[in-house]
Amino acid sequence: MNRLLVSLLAAVDALLAVAVGVGVVLAPVTLVWIFGVGGDADWSALWPAAATIWQLGHFAPVAVSLPAELVVLGGLPSNGAQFALSLAPTALALFTAVSAWRSGSRAARAGAWVTGVVGGTVTVAVVSAVIALTGRASVASVDLLAAVAGPTLVFAVPALVGAVVRAWNDGDDGIIDALSERLPDDVQEAVDAGARAVAICVAGIVAVGAVILAVLFFVRGGEVIALTQAAQADLLGVVVLALGSILYLPTLVMWFAGFAVGPGFAVGTGTAVSPAATSLGVVPGIPVFGVIPDSTSGWLLLLGLIVIGFGALAGASTRGALLVGSKTDAEPLRPRLVSLAVLTAGTGVVVAVLSWAAQGSIGPGRLTQVGPEPWLVALVAAAEVAVGAAIVLLSPRGEDDPSRPQPPLVREAAAPAPNVEPARATPPAASPDEFPTAPLD
């Protein structure tokens, strides 16, 4: 496909991703303006609020400066008038990242992945700059560099990874093919199998976090309702709180994914929520925080076995793929070690990025640190996955192992019986004593 056309299509993808993301924020804000304010205020004042929320959702920290009368009305300390808000509603970034991945993959399929990634990234950077320049607010301000760099990186990195993955699988007649040709065949297969194993482990860890969060919503739903009622919000306020909770849902999933891995997360400086122990101070009265348990049991440390199990599952999948791709029944050690290294390092990197996206600041003082500790969660997750995968990948395989590819069964044809006429039975010769003798005349 023509490179210019690929670049234009990638730019359209990027423009749609930004437009939909901003629209998701602007729509509920407009509803608040219509039903809450009654349309008396200027609608243009809503644009800075929507732009700031969208920028926060793409990891651009917001510097909040509250008016003095609002500080007194809210009962906040004097030093709480100014603080940084950096905990991102990651649903917005997730939507942009998925759109970017698909855009990069389509560009690679068209044979011009570099052009497509560059075109989409430049478009996001330009549109982000326009949003930052037109959406400035006095109460909540975002640095121009962060407002442009955050959305641009959220689009550029997944687009590049999606394009490289597609080019690696399908070929690009360029740098990716040149790189793959330099690698031995067994190493290429090991890298492919290890990358698929990374996807299995990361998906499993995130799924466990989602299941834990769902169970807590069911068990502690009363606390969430009580905090919502304590906020004394009307119907419109409840809808806004619900929409805000949905935007932060992926963030909470990663909190409890870190809980399943072991290190857990914090809800303020000096606090910890983990299977080993839970130490909470005064938790902000945000309704969705009602799912956070007050105490935990040491038995929950067994959740780490689930992560190890995902590592074992990924190791079994990897070993089976290496056996299927092998031209012989032998299992050389190098491909298995390469796959194990790719699985361990890849899982650690991805979990670190996801954990970093789920931590930040939500207020002054002790609230400057909430969420998981990225390096610790990533290190423990990589270690647990490596243990499970190493057990399966490096253990000796028996001859009767069902996962070993078996040669096709060939039924031997029975040899035809020789065409020999069966011998006729001849009566035994009678002894002389058996014959009757007639008397002689």
| Three-state secondary structure string covering 15-69 | HHHHHHHHHHHHHHHHHHHHHHHCCCCCHHHHHHHHHHHHHHCCCCCEEEECCHH
Are 381 and 347 a contacting pair, CB within 8 Å? yes
Angle at which helix 185-219 crosses helix 333-357, to 10 degrees, equals 40
State the residue for tokens 């997730």: 94
φ/ψ (deg, to 5) at 63: -90, 110
Are 351 and 205 a contacting pair, CB within 8 Å? yes
> Which are the contacts of 264, defined by CB distance < 8 A and separation ≥ 6?
258, 272, 273, 274, 275, 276, 278, 372
Give the torsion through C-alpha atoms of 98, 101, 102, 104, to 10 deg.
160
- Residues found in the chain: 441
Pair of tokens at residue 368: 């400057």
Kindly report the number of other CB atoms within 10 A of residue 100's CB atom: 28
pTM: 0.84
Per-residue pLDDT tens digits of the chain, which is 441 residues long: 678 888 899 999 999 999 999 998 888 777 777 766 655 556 667 888 889 999 999 999 999 887 666 666 555 666 666 788 999 999 999 999 999 999 999 998 888 888 999 999 999 999 999 999 998 877 788 999 999 999 999 999 999 999 999 988 887 777 887 887 887 878 888 898 999 999 999 999 999 999 999 999 999 888 888 888 887 777 777 777 888 889 999 999 999 999 999 999 999 888 889 998 888 877 888 888 889 988 888 788 889 999 999 999 999 999 888 887 555 566 788 889 999 999 999 999 999 999 999 999 988 878 888 999 999 999 999 999 999 999 998 888 655 454 455 555 444 444 555 554 544 445 555 444 444 444 443
Helix (H, G, I), strand (E, B) or coil at 403: coil
Pair of tokens at residue 71: 């500080």
Query: What residue spans of 57-184 are helical by DSSP H?
Result: 68-73, 90-109, 113-134, 144-170, 175-182
- Burial class of residue 161, CB neighbours in 10 A (0-12, 13-18, 19+): middle
